[in-house]
């Protein structure tokens, strides 16, 4: 790799080749490597950089440490016609996620909707990937996941919930899907680190110090506030709780407060992450075609709304699809930290390095 200070973008196919090779060397079987690659590349193409290619080194480390099994024996237990449980056998959460959503879609095809609780899993990247997988097949999709604690309860002084995301996607005829993918905190944890690195103050009402007091100083931050801040954080915390109940309680896993931290230092003990996936068939409620027409009307009205000065009204996903089109044309950028990390992986795993696009 070249000087990490340079602009460095890569082709999607090259990135996929590199990820697949690295994951294979780290012990991932083909299905697992494909699922991780699919999820990370999906996120990176859409501009969800917090959950894209930067996570590869983490998964490699977790595979090498033994926390995650590269060749798991995931077993799906169908419980009733619309519900089931996927035991992910401590494998990669991405394979668990895509598999579970496949089962949910299959049930939705039969009985109108289906849901799968996943247990004994691990970090699955961006929740939106799995909601999107359903929408790409023509179904409404929802995905939820718990995580180790980063976020205060409303009026709480210590982190209790994870950033517990909610993802929702719906098919749109002739267009990319409607796609909402949001943490139930205002900002992700790595935003704090990022602002700290560039010496920037955080927005108000997004984070707190070790005493649970709101702070804007990145170096002081010990917890995130739930969406809504000091005044209305009962909403963000309530949503985080809903995600927790769906992800861990319905899957029989320990709730997020008891999870080992994603970041280690323990990279050998499985964490027992839980997820929850739901798929619905759009035409399972009203006449065929009604949903498609309604989505088109709704999005046309939404996008025609007047915006505040210097702004633009967008539907959830519009920003992501625009970014994806740009990155598909121009390449996926790696910042200097990722350039270094990928160069290190290439050397350590004896993989041909990424090729920089001109």
Touching its own copies, residues 301-340 (CB under 8 A) = 301-302, 305-308, 311-316
Look up residue 93 and give its two tokens: 């959460």
What is the Cα 168 distance to its own chain's centre? 12
Closer residue to its own copies (CB): 286 or 337: 286
Point out which span in 33-41, 61-69, 164-172, 326-334 binds its own copies (CB under 8 A): 164-172
Q: Does 46 bind its own copies (CB under 8 A)?
A: no
Rule CB under 8 A: which of 218-237 touch its own copies? Answer: 227-228, 231-232, 234-236
**Exposure on the CB side of residue 58, measured as CA atoms within 13 A:** 19
Q: Does 1 bind its own copies (CB under 8 A)?
A: no
Q: List, in order, residues 6 or more apart from 213 with CB less than 8 Å away.
A: none
C-beta of residue 190 within 8 angstroms of C-beta of residue 207 = no
Q: Does 139 bind its own copies (CB under 8 A)?
A: no
Q: List, in order, residues 6 or more apart from 326 with CB less than 8 Å away.
A: none
Q: Rg of the chain's alpha carbons, rounded to an integer? A: 20
Closer residue to its own copies (CB): 46 or 239: 239
Closer residue to its own copies (CB): 58 or 158: 158
Closer residue to its own copies (CB): 21 or 223: 223
Which residue from 80, 265, 329, 350 is in contact with its own copies, where contact means CB under 8 A? 80
Rule CB under 8 A: which of 241-280 touch its own copies? Answer: 241-242, 244-245, 248-255, 257-258, 280
Phi then psi dihedrals of residue 144, to 5 deg: -140, 150
Closer residue to its own copies (CB): 19 or 167: 167
Question: 128-136 and 93-111 are packed helices; what angle lies between their axes, rounded to 10 degrees?
Answer: 40
Rule CB under 8 A: which of 81-110 touch its own copies? Answer: 81-85, 107, 110
342 by Cβ neighbours in 10 Å (0-12 / 13-18 / 19+) ranks as buried
Q: Does 51 bind its own copies (CB under 8 A)?
A: no
């Amino acid at each position: 790799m070249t000087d990490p200070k340079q602009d460095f973008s890569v082709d999607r196919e090259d990135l996929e080749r590199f990820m697949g090779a690295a994951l294979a060397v780290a012990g991932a079987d083909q299905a697992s490597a494909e699922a991780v690659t699919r999820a990370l590349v999906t996120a990176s193409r859409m501009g969800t950089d917090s959950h894209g290619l930067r996570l590869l080194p983490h998964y490699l480390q977790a595979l090498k440490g033994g926390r995650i099994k590269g060749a798991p024996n995931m077993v799906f237990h169908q419980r009733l016609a619309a519900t089931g449980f996927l035991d992910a056998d401590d494998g990669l959460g991405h394979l668990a996620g895509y598999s579970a959503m496949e089962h949910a879609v299959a049930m939705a095809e039969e009985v109108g909707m289906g849901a799968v609780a996943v247990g004994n899993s691990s970090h699955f990247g961006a929740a939106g990937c799995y909601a999107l997988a359903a929408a790409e097949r023509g179904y409404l999709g929802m995905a939820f996941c718990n995580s180790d604690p980063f976020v205060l309860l409303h009026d709480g002084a210590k982190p209790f919930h994870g950033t517990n995301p909610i993802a929702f996607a719906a098919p749109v005829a002739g267009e990319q899907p409607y796609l909402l993918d949001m943490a139930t905190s205002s900002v992700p944890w790595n935003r704090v680190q990022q602002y700290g690195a560039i010496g920037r103050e955080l927005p108000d009402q997004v984070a707190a110090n070790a005493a649970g007091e709101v702070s804007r100083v990145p170096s002081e931050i010990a917890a995130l506030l739930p969406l809504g801040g000091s005044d209305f954080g009962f909403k963000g915390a309530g949503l985080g709780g809903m995600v927790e109940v769906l992800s861990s309680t319905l899957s029989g896993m320990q709730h997020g407060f008891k999870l080992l931290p994603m970041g280690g230092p323990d990279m050998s003990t499985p964490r027992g992450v839980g997820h929850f996936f739901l798929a619905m068939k759009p035409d399972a409620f009203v006449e065929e075609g009604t949903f498609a027409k309604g989505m088109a009307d709704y999005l046309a009205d939404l996008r025609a709304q007047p915006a505040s000065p210097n702004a633009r009204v967008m539907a959830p996903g519009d920003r992501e699809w625009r970014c994806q089109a740009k990155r598909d044309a121009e390449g996926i950028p790696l910042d200097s930290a990722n350039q270094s990390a990928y160069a290190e992986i290439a050397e350590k795993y004896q993989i041909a390095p990424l090729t920089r696009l001109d």
